[in-house]
């Protein structure tokens, strides 16, 4: 078994225009003393990375790594969630998605832009020496999640065929460069649970670069068995967001949330340790599955401040990372063995 790395922290939710949250150097100096050893960088935020330069220049990436190394940090992954969501957009979501991409693009132009952005994230990952790019899948069928009105035959199959058609160039570039695309299974995307991930694997002929960014919080809010998920798909997990959540349904709201703001929903994201995710079990199962990537805090909480969430997150993760054993606990009671001895113990002499 391998040991995972960490603690890491996803910077997206902490970046602001005022120090120490306004640049890679400044935020690195803030998170390192909290106990973090790595940062996951959002590729869409120019305050912490120039994706164009990172994709083309090894020297730029070496400088970026040196900036972090001065703080005692590494790059865990480059995250491209927003560009992934832009790759496949149903017209109903065009207005809401617009802030994620340059204005004035047609669907064809938007898809081309997102494809190139994702390829740049892959090339930049190669230059930085990281191996996985966490993303959202985007999609065309999310509004059809609940089967009413009845869905016509072939509709979902067509949606996933088109989804893969758009992702294939990115997945191929990732495969050819030894990088995995780690889909975060997320509401609003067509790949949001195990069944939809399997459907995507089916249409992609189990593309080797199509992997997973495991985040148990989204599964808890769906009431999906997030532990069994690791047993089913552990070999495809190449990134890990450590994020907590709680689900407390009432006679008023349940899984769908009733259009309530986050504090009023039955399912809410929480700071680590304040929710219901059994992280001791999660870390055990991931270790057993051979996961040796980073354990990265993604902080989202409608109650606690980001500063407190970040400060509590590093020790929470560090305490749960398992140093995987290379010996059996009962080796002391063992002895040398050979075929003759084995036959004798089995009564086969």
**Are 253 and 292 a contacting pair, CB within 8 Å?**
no
User: Backbone dihedral region of 139: left (phi > 0), alpha (psi from -120 to 50 degrees) or beta?
Assistant: left
Q: Where are the domains of the chain?
A: 5-345
The verdict on domain 5-345 having CATH code 3.90.1580.10 is no
DSSP string, 283-307: HHHHHHTT--SEEEE----SSS-HH
- pLDDT value at 293 more than 70: yes
pTM assigned to the model: 0.95
45-56 per-position pLDDT tens digit: 999 999 999 999
- pLDDT value at 330 more than 70: no
**Are 82 and 117 a contacting pair, CB within 8 Å?**
no
The three-state secondary structure class of 5 is strand
What is the pairing mode between strands 74-79 and 132-135?
unpaired
Q: Report the DSSP beta bridge partners of residue 295.
A: 240
Confidence of residue 333 (pLDDT cuts 50, 70, 90): low
Confidence of residue 332 (pLDDT cuts 50, 70, 90): low
152-162 per-position pLDDT tens digit: 999 999 999 99
């Amino acid at each position: 078994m391998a040991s995972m790395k960490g603690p890491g922290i996803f910077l997206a939710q902490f970046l602001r225009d005022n120090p120490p949250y306004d640049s890679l150097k400044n935020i690195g100096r803030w998170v390192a003393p909290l106990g973090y050893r790595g940062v996951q960088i959002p590729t869409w935020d120019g305050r912490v990375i120039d994706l164009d330069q990172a994709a083309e220049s090894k020297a730029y990436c070496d400088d970026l790594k040196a900036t972090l190394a001065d703080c005692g940090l590494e790059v865990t992954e480059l995250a491209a969630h927003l560009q992934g969501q832009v790759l496949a957009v149903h017209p109903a979501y065009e207005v809401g998605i617009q802030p994620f991409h340059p204005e004035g693009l047609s669907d064809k132009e938007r898809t081309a832009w997102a494809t190139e952005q994702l390829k740049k994230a892959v090339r930049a990952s190669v230059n930085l020496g990281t191996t996985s790019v966490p993303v959202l899948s985007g999609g065309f069928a999310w509004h059809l999640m609940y089967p009413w009105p009845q869905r016509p035959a072939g509709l979902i199959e067509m949606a996933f065929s088109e989804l893969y058609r758009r992702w294939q160039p990115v997945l191929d570039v990732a495969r050819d460069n030894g990088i995995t695309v780690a889909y975060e299974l997320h509401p609003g995307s067509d790949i949001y649970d195990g069944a939809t991930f399997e459907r995507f694997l089916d249409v992609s002929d189990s593309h080797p670069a199509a992997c997973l960014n495991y985040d148990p919080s989204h599964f808890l809010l769906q009431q999906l068995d997030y532990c069994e998920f690791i047993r089913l798909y552990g070999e495809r997990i190449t990134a890990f967001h450590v994020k907590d959540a709680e689900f407390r349904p009432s006679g008023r709201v349940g899984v769908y949330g009733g259009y309530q703001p986050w504090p009023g929903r039955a399912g809410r994201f929480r700071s680590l340790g304040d929710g219901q995710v059994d992280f001791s079990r999660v870390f055990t199962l991931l270790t057993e599955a051979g996961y040796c990537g980073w354990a990265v805090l993604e902080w989202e909480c409608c109650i606690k401040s980001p500063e407190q969430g970040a400060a509590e997150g590093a020790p929470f993760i560090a305490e749960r990372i398992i140093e995987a054993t290379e010996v059996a606990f009962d080796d002391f009671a063992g002895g040398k063995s050979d075929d003759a001895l084995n036959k004798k113990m089995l009564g086969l002499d």
